[in-house]
Structure 1
Amino acid sequence: MKPLYIIKIGGNVIDNSENLYHFLKDFTAIDGYKILVHGGGKVATQLSDKMGVQTQMVDGRRITDIETLRVVTMVYAGLINKNIVAQLQRFGTNAIGLTGADGNFIKAKKRPVKTIDYGFVGDLDGTSVNAENISALMQAGFTPVFCALTHDGDGQMLNTNADTIASALAVSLSRHYETTLIYCFEKKGVLQDIDDEDSLIRDIDPARYEELKKQQIIHSGMLPKLDNAFAAIGSGVKAVIIGKSDDLKQFSKNEPFGTRLSL
């Protein structure tokens, strides 16, 4: 199987034009099939404020009412996505900007109301991603750039977590490609000491993960990230790498990059 790299970036890259420029240049240097998934950054919140649309967050998650959905659709699928695509074209990557609705690539289900009504937020399952259509697009020479929006198949757009989209793409496409999922964020990877960038843990397998949890080296916000990463690996993804966006050039040169999670 041919290799495929699915790379997710967050607001720390999107909100800084210089960081984004260097990241996209490094992304272009990676050979072979690749997909970029991006979150929203601060722009949606800033535009919501200017338009008088109140931003509501619960445990770091955005409540997406109909007005907020209009804003995030404009910002994620429009402003941010097309800016990224235009810059990738500049570097020679033939990118195509997408939501999950385009090509019926990612279909989600509206999150059911339990204690909190998250509004127009989409949840994914094992049938959400149309791997065949995405593969056809890549084989035609395009590099997909997905924003954090999906659809329900009934004409409704849904705000969907970008980490979840990246993972669902990786699992689904791992049936067709040798898939590596890369999460880029502000730290060099998983650290022994959160305040020491030189304490990077290079490799973690399931046994080492259990050990690090017992020692409480990995805890709180990092746990769901790594739990999801190992779930993806258990579903066919070759490896998950967590690293700093600034260091992606090391990966493109086959040098050690971030923390590698694998079986």
Structure 2
Amino acid sequence: MKIHIVKIGGHLINDQKVLNFSLKAFCQLQGYKVLIHGGGRKADFISNKMGILQKIIKGRRITDKETLDIVVMTYAGMINKNIVALLQSHHCNALGLCGADGNCIKSYLRKKTNIDYGYVGDINSKSINTRLIKFLLKNNIIPVLCSITHNGIGNLLNTNADTIAAYIAISLAKEKDCETELHFCFEKKGVLRDIQDPESFFQKINFNSFQKMKQNHSITNGMIPKLENAFFALKNGVSQVSIGLPNYLNDVNNKTLLCP
């Protein structure tokens, strides 16, 4: 079975009309599919309204107890259920989940190094409940997963949505009857050559090019973990990885394709 793993984030989630259009494009994608979403900008907006300052280091959120409550409420509640409702309006039967539901994604607390990320969960090759995901897919139910995981001892943890998407694609690719494609969708056409020019996207990027881009600081902090996860997936059995707009999910010429 061929499975499309699609992660949406950024401005696609903030604007209801854009989100609805994006999900319509997702529903038109043929075959089995899984949707993963973040929602960091929405969480920032809610945090600011509540007067709670957010800390981001190298594109990754520091999650203290107050921030954890906000992201659980925002990701697993408001955003997740809104996405499921919109998918149902496009006749895509979906089920919204966080990592604790059905033991879908089990994580472990990130070890403290020189940076204390707080209540952040990391995952590995054993974290994903592929049996549950395949069961849902074979029963024509689209899993919609937010970036909240659990550690198995009663704690919810904030986990990077790009990382979740990569590990789901990798874990399913290891199943004998599965082939996976991974799509990172956001508001740009792809990875941009020039951040000021939205039309200047790379059609293809290999790992060496990515390393050079990091060294000369030609990509933003938020794009670095996305590309790291993308190349990690490509090196671990995922057949194709792309980055771009959701309306080009079926068009290989209008997004950035990753090459080894």
**TM score, norm. by length of structure 1:** 0.88
Distance in 2 (alpha carbons) for counterparts of 1:224 and 1:79: 25
- Cα-to-partner distance string for 1:129-163 (whole Å, 9 max, x where unaligned): 11122111111111011111000000100011111
Partners of 2:9 and 2:37 within 8 A in 1: yes
Question: Structure 1 residues 117, 135: closer, same or farther in 2, change over 3 A?
Answer: same
User: RMSD across aligned C-alpha pairs, in angstroms?
Assistant: 2.3
Distance in 2 (alpha carbons) for counterparts of 1:11 and 1:223: 14
Segment drifting more, 213-222 vs 141-150: 213-222
Partners of 1:55 and 1:62 within 8 A in 2: no
1:242 aligned residue: 243
* 1:157 has 2:125 as partner: no
Q: Residue 62 of structure 1 aligns to a residue in which SS?
A: strand
Partners of 1:204 and 1:261 within 8 A in 2: yes
Cα displacement (A) at 1:103 = 0.8
Distance in 2 (alpha carbons) for counterparts of 1:224 and 1:40: 16
Q: Residue 42 of structure 1 aligns to a residue in which SS?
A: helix
Cα displacement (A) at 1:100 = 0.7
2:183 aligned residue: 182
1:233 aligned residue: 234
Question: Structure 1 residues 51, 249: closer, same or farther in 2, change over 3 A?
Answer: closer
1:57 aligned residue: 55
Distance in 2 (alpha carbons) for counterparts of 1:96 and 1:235: 27
Cα displacement (A) at 1:80 = 0.7
Cα displacement (A) at 1:196 = 2.9
AA at the equivalent of 2:248:
Q
Question: Structure 1 residues 105, 116: closer, same or farther in 2, change over 3 A?
Answer: same
2:172 aligned residue: 173
Q: Residue 171 of structure 2 aligns to a residue in which SS?
A: helix
* 1:66 has 2:65 as partner: yes
Cα displacement (A) at 1:219 = 4.4
Partners of 2:26 and 2:249 within 8 A in 1: no
Distance in 1 (alpha carbons) for counterparts of 2:188 and 2:63: 28
AA at the equivalent of 2:195:
I
2:125 aligned residue: 126
Cα displacement (A) at 1:49 = 4.0
Q: Which runs of 5+ in 1 are unaligned?
A: none
AA at the equivalent of 1:232:
A
Distance in 2 (alpha carbons) for counterparts of 1:107 and 1:88: 26
Question: Structure 1 residues 214, 22: closer, same or farther in 2, change over 3 A?
Answer: closer
Cα displacement (A) at 1:9 = 1.1
Partners of 1:192 and 1:217 within 8 A in 2: no
Distance in 1 (alpha carbons) for counterparts of 2:138 and 2:121: 28
Q: Counterparts in 2 of 1:2-151, with a 5 A limit?
A: 2-52=1-51, 54-59=52-57, 60-151=59-150
Distance in 1 (alpha carbons) for counterparts of 2:214 and 2:16: 40
Cα displacement (A) at 1:224 = 4.1
AA at the equivalent of 2:255:
G
In the TM superposition, structure 1's runs of 4+ consecutive aligned residues that sit over 6 Å from their partners are none
Cα displacement (A) at 1:66 = 2.1
- Cα-to-partner distance string for 1:49-97 (whole Å, 9 max, x where unaligned): 4445x23304143322222222221111111100000010000110100
Distance in 2 (alpha carbons) for counterparts of 1:71 and 1:13: 20
* 1:262 has 2:259 as partner: yes
**TM score, norm. by length of structure 2:** 0.89
Count how many residue pairs are aligned between Structure 1 and Structure 2: 256
Distance in 2 (alpha carbons) for counterparts of 1:22 and 1:229: 24
Cα displacement (A) at 1:256 = 2.5
Q: Which runs of 5+ in 2 are unaligned?
A: none
